[in-house]
Each structure stands twice: as structure tokens, then as C-alpha cells.
Structure 1
Amino acid sequence: MTRPADTVPDTGFRRCGCCGRQRPAGEVAELGVTPGVYICAGCALWAARRAGLLSALREIRIRDLLPSFLNRAQAPHTATAAIPILPSSDLDRTAAFYARAGFTDADHHDGYLLLNNDGVELHFAHHDTVTPGTCFVHVADATKMWKQLRERGVDGVGEIADQDYGLREFVLTDPDGNRVRIGSAIPDGQ
């Protein structure tokens, strides 16, 4: 028996009308022309790729527009970046591992390590007992970086895969078990 919509209890979740998965209400959008039908971000990106809309958006260089937008939109003391601090049981071993992945030692002192790769920073703090952490690094071309790491024989490089939310990703797992997810937009036509 189906109850009228006005008597259905609100669980805070909505079913995506495309993939059928239950999502929190804040992670779906109601289709304006079809009230009561929702779509998740992953399916919206899939639909945009199929319609060719993402290729048009990619032509706009968001990176070029961002500084002027931030200068207008930011109040003093507004955060501009977040950098997780990952644990390391041996900072020298961590620096050597990430050097093979293209990161340079930007600052290394007692109990702390800062690595850099073309403006991307990874921070590590020494801990005798490590509970592995996770972070995400956006790159221009995940496939290219994945191939380079494989060719260099870097340990801990996982398989690369396209995600339903529009990114191509792989995981780089360091000797302490930290998982650095590396990804980029899926190229058009793939």
C-alpha cells in the first residue's frame, strides 16, 4: 500500500531517482520539473558529462577566476587552505618514500616534516604509535602521475579507477599506512 506523500515520515534521506541509492537530504537535489524526484551529485556529474556540459565548463579556467573572487569574498583572517597533518613513525623514511613520488623536503625539524610538490603540501608529525590518516590531493592528470609512480617502482600505488562522482583516482599508501588519495577530473570522452 502506498501512502500519500504528505503522510510519509521524513527520515532525512532521499532516494536518487537515477542510481537508486539513499542519500542524506543535503546531498541530493530535487528536480524542479519533477517534484519528489531527487538526483545525487554523482549522477548529476554523469548526466552533465553525457550532455557535454562539463567540457564547456572546463573551458572556463576556474583557477584564473579564483584569486579575484577570493579577494572580493574574503574577510580578514578567513581560512584559505586546510592541510592535514599525517602521522609518521620515522620522518626520514617518510621523506625518502615521498621523494620517490616527487615530493621535496621543504622543512624538516625535530618531530615535524613538511613536503612539497608543485605547491601541494603534505605535513607529517612524528608519533611512536601511528594510527594511519587519509588525505586527498588534486592533480592535473591522475593517469599520468599513476603511470610515473608505477614506472619508478614506488611501493603502495593502488589501482586507478574512475569514480561515479567524476574523478579518476588511485591511492598511494605510505609505510605507516597513511592513504593519500590522488585524483583528477575524468577526461572528456572517457
Structure 2
Amino acid sequence: MSASGDRITANLPARDFDATAAFYGKMGFETAYRDDHWMILTRGALVLEFFPHPEVDPYSSWFSACIRVDDLDRYHGEWMALDLPRDPKSIPRITGIMDRPPVPRMFALIDADGSLLRVLEND
């Protein structure tokens, strides 16, 4: 698959919309829409949509999304500066960049609700 342009399509749970908006706000996302049943956060062309799920267990969550970006190093650098844990058990957490061809360069971020975001570099 050959594509360019930062993009994301995601529909993720949030235990608390205020906490979710604050977490992603530190990552440069802004609230584009919010009511009691839905929240949309945007960062340029990146869009994350959240539904309320107060019972989600961050340690057993299976929710995930792929974020595809043109400048992986920029996003990784910005989000590493948030000082998220890097160990394999913490939530939230972030990984280093993985470079294992033929898989695109990528890193992973687990948000505060346990959702896995795979951040992949466009080819």
C-alpha cells in the first residue's frame, strides 16, 4: 500500500471524556465535537472519535487504531517529550521506534484507557 498524508480513522472508548480530552490535548489534539454520547478530537487531518465506556478495563482493552503519518520522527519526538512510561506494563505508555522491514517504521502508544495506537510511517 502506497499512500501519503497524515490520517487516522478510529472509534475508541473513553472512561471519562474530560480525562481523555486532557490526555490527547497534551498530544496536540483539540475537541472538535462533544456531547454526552460522542467526542471527536482532531489534530490537523488526524481524527479520533470516542464513545463513553466507563467500564473499560485499561489492562484488558482490545481497542486499537492505526495512525499513518508522513513524519514519524516528528510525532515520536513530540510524544516522547510527554515523558510517558516506556516499560511494557504501564498505562499509558509509549515505545521506541521499531524498524523491521518489510513492516513500515512505527511506534506504539497505549492511551490512559488501554487503547493501542500504532503510529506507522507512510511509504
Q: Extract structure 1 runs of 4+ deviating beyond 6 A.
A: none
RMSD across aligned positions (CA)? 2.7
Asked if residue 176 in structure 1 is aligned to residue 113 in structure 2, the reply is yes
Pick the structure with greater CA Rg.
1
Who is 1:34 aligned against?
A: none
Who is 1:113 aligned against?
A: 39
Determine which of 94, 102, 125 is the counterpart of 2:51. 125
Asked if residue 139 in structure 1 is aligned to residue 76 in structure 2, the reply is no
8 Å Cα contact 2:40-2:50 kept in structure 1: yes
8 Å Cα contact 1:84-1:123 kept in structure 2: yes
TM-score (norm 2): 0.77
- In structure 1, the gaps of 5 or more residues are 1-40, 42-56, 64-80
8 Å Cα contact 2:69-2:119 kept in structure 1: yes
Bigger helix share: 1
Deviations 1:69-92 (A, max 9, x none): xxxxxxxxxxxx983311111111
Who is 1:32 aligned against?
A: none
TM-score (norm 1): 0.52
Higher relative contact order (CA 8 A, sep 6+): 2
SS in 2 for 1:167: coil
Who is 1:149 aligned against?
A: 79
Per the TM alignment, residue 111 of structure 1 is displaced from its structure 2 partner at its CA by 2.4
Greater CA drift, 117-126 or 83-92: 83-92
Who is 1:91 aligned against?
A: 17
Per the TM alignment, residue 167 of structure 1 is displaced from its structure 2 partner at its CA by 1.1
Deviations 1:135-168 (A, max 9, x none): 0011111122111111232452212111323411
Cα distance in 2 between the residues matched to 1:166 and 1:174: 23
SS in 2 for 1:98: helix
Residue identity opposite 1:110 in structure 2: D
